[in-house]
Every structure is written in C-alpha cells, then in structure tokens.
C-alpha cells in the first residue's frame, strides 16, 4: 500500500483522456485504457466513467521531459510512466512518457500493461516485491489477450476497496516459487546444458553451476511465444529446442525462435484427432523422440523425419506406472517424468523406474 493508505472515498470514479500518442490510433488508445480500467473494476466494486469536458478524478495524458510536476521524464526507455496516489487535483493522474514507443502489441512498450500498472497507483497501490505482480516496478510484456490480474494485485486492491460485487470472486495466477512443495510444471527441457522449467508465464532456469534457479518471464526471452507451453524437448544433434502449445510448435535454433514458426503439429505426423502434446523428450543416442499424449506415447524418428510405425503405445506398457506425463526430459542417460508434484527417474537401459522424487528436486531447497 502507499504510505498513509490513501484511497478514493467514492467507488464511482471518473477518468478523462487529455491527449493521445501519435504512434497509435485513438481507438487503440481508448481500448487500451478501457481494458486497463476493467482490470481493476473486475475485482473490486469500483466503476469508471469517461468524461470529456471537466476535471476527472483520473486525468490521463501523454507528456515529455519536464511537465511541471517535479518528476520529469527522461526520453526513450528508462522511465515509462508515473501516476499519483488518490487525492484532489493531480491526485490519481496518470502521466505517460510520450517519447516511448507505445504499441498495442509487444513490438514496443505495451500501452495497456503500463496503464494498468499506473492505475494501480492511482487507486492507492504501491509497488509489489512479487516479480509476477502487475505492480512490480519493472516493465514486462504480457500479451493483453492472455493477461490475468495476478493474485498478489487482487489481494492488494481488495484490501483497499473490498471484493467485487460479482457472485463468484475472481482469482488470479500466483508466481511460481522453486521451493514450493506443491509446484508442478507445464514442460521441461534442457537447453545447451541448462534446464528450463516452464510454468504459466514463467521459466525457471537452472544452470548446473549455479545453486539458485532464475525466474523469468517467457516473454522476456521470446516475446512471440505464448504462455503455458505444454511440451518441450531439446534435439542436441541439431542444437534445436521444440516447444509445443495446442496444435502448434515453435523451434528455437540456439536461443532464437527460427523463422516460419509456429507450424502445425500435424506436419510431424500426428493424426488430426490429437489436439495437443503433454510432454516430450529426445533420446540423443537413438535419434528417437517420444511424445506423450494422455495415456499413450508416439515415437518420432528425427533422421527419417517421420513417426515410427506401431505407435501410439500405452505409456504403462513400456514406462511403468507413471500415469499421465506433464513434462519429461532426458539427462545423463536417464529420463525424468513429471506427474503433478511427483517425479520418476527412468533408466532406459533396464527399462524401469529407479527412483521417485518431488518434482522440484532439481532446485536446491
């Protein structure tokens, strides 16, 4: 919370857009602002009404450098925007640096994300220390279509204004913590000796020589990738990582997304009945890649570039009682399967599970 716990005394607030950035269409700016306001009105009893011709509670403007509020902007990058805590006159106002490259997507700074953050200040929130929160001070891109207000921000704003009037209270995503015993993963892959654990909007990146895992947004490295990647594997021979979501896949060549992606998974030979891949790993010694889907698996020949005959087979027939697989990867001759908070170490030489562990055992907890 902002020091002194400032808040608006009314729930029906007004806003006014004083000017527009020349880099975006006015309709796109209006849409970004309306969507940013709805981020907060969806989880509280607050409402926002647009007015045109008089002083509003929240005045939104694009300004440059010294704009007479004792907090000058600094040109492109650096400071993107600021906003004032609830109060009279300048209180609640949002100022956006008009020397930034504002966009409605991820090419420049996404206007919706920045305004949604600033409106948090306009309503009385301070910065959060949760790196996944909207109110974290540094900019991180999320596709507006995939944006969900994190739980940390919901908890903060509801502590000030109370819960939403909706019959079902909204909930939001939480930031994964490496040592959370309940942590599960969407997908896991090796990448040039490192391990990448995918979870929602995040990657937990574990370097073998570093004790702590690094938490980053997927979008920080690969802005064009969606969140909630469902499967991933590294083809060490080709120095490629394949990433899957729904019926699409992307190829990372080295650290960069290769041009021409996403492509359809049906190009790999899956039948049209398959809608997504749950997990995958590639065996570097045989050149075979294993895809896990529900209770079955497919085998793909990386050299022939086609699915092997005789598949799918039941997972339980060849890998034991590991259930459905959320994520898998191969490392040092073993295959590791993840199911919920449980991890199975599988030895392909003897074709059996040799160890059972917690899913987050790779982090030094």
54-58, Cβ contacts within 8 angstroms, sequence gap of 24 or more: 54/16, 55/16, 56/14, 56/15, 56/16, 57/8, 57/13, 57/14, 57/15, 57/92, 58/13, 58/14, 58/15, 58/16, 58/92, 58/93, 58/94, 58/119, 58/122
Rounded Cα gap, residues 136 and 113, in angstroms? 12
State which of residues 42, 126, 169, 264 lies at the interface with other proteins (CB under 8 A).
Answer: 126
Q: Which stretch binds other proteins (CB under 8 A): 12-20, 36-44, 75-83, 157-165?
A: 75-83
Binders of other proteins in range 237-266 (CB under 8 A): 255
Interface with other proteins (CB under 8 A), residue total 28
Q: Is 138 in the site for other proteins (CB under 8 A)?
A: yes
State which of residues 23, 79, 228, 353 lies at the interface with other proteins (CB under 8 A).
Answer: 79
Comparison of 90 and 316: residue with beta carbon closer to other proteins: 90
Q: Does 31 participate in catalysis according to the annotation? A: no
Q: What is the DSSP string of 183-251?
A: ---SEEEEETTEEEEEETTEEEEE-TT-SSPEEEEHHHH-TTS-SS--EEEEETTTTEEEEEETTEEEE
Marked catalytic residue, from 49, 52, 100, 118: 118
Q: Is 201 in the site for other proteins (CB under 8 A)?
A: no
Q: Which stretch binds other proteins (CB under 8 A): 45-53, 113-121, 331-339, 352-360?
A: 113-121
Asked if the bond preceding 253 is cis, omega within 30° of 0, the reply is: no
Q: Is 319 in the site for other proteins (CB under 8 A)?
A: no
Q: Is 75 in the site for other proteins (CB under 8 A)?
A: no
Site residues for other proteins per CB under 8 A: 2-4, 71, 73, 77-85, 109, 114, 117-118, 121, 126-127, 129, 131, 137-139, 221, 255
Catalytic site positions: 118
């Amino acid at each position: 919370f902002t020091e002194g716990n400032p808040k608006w005394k009314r729930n029906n607030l007004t806003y006014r857009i004083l000017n527009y950035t020349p880099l975006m269409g006015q309709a796109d700016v209006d849409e970004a602002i309306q969507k940013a306001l709805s981020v907060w009105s969806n989880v509280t009893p607050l409402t926002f009404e647009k007015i045109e011709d008089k002083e509003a509670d929240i005045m939104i403007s694009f300004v440059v450098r010294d704009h007479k509020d004792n907090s000058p902007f600094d040109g492109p990058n650096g400071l993107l925007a600021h906003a004032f805590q609830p109060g009279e006159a300048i209180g609640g106002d949002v100022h956006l640096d008009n020397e930034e490259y504002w966009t409605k997507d991820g090419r420049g700074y996404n206007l919706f994300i920045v305004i949604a953050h600033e409106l948090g200040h306009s309503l009385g929130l301070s910065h959060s220390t949760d790196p996944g929160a909207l109110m974290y001070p540094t900019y991180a891109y999320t596709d507006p279509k995939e944006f969900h207000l994190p739980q940390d921000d919901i908890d903060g704003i509801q502590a000030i204004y109370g819960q939403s009037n909706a019959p079902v209270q909204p909930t939001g995503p939480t930031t994964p913590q490496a040592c959370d015993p309940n942590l599960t993963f969407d997908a896991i892959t090796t990448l040039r000796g490192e391990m990448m654990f995918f979870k929602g909007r995040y990657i937990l990146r574990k370097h073998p020589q570093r004790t702590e895992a690094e938490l980053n947004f997927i979008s920080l490295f690969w802005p064009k990738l969606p969140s909630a990647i469902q499967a991933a594997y590294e083809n060490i021979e080709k120095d490629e990582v394949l990433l899957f979501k729904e019926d699409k896949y992307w190829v990372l060549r080295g650290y960069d997304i290769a041009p021409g992606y996403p492509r359809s998974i049906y190009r790999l030979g899956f039948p049209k009945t398959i809608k997504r891949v749950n997990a995958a790993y590639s065996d570097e010694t045989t050149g075979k890649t294993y895809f896990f889907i529900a209770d079955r698996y497919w085998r793909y020949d990386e050299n022939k570039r086609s699915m092997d005959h005789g598949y799918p087979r039941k997972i339980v027939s060849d890998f034991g009682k590991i259930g459905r697989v959320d994520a898998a990867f191969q490392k040092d001759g073993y295959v590791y399967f993840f199911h919920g908070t449980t991890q199975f170490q599988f030895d392909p030489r003897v074709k059996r599970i040799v160890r059972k562990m917690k899913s987050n055992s790779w982090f030094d907890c």
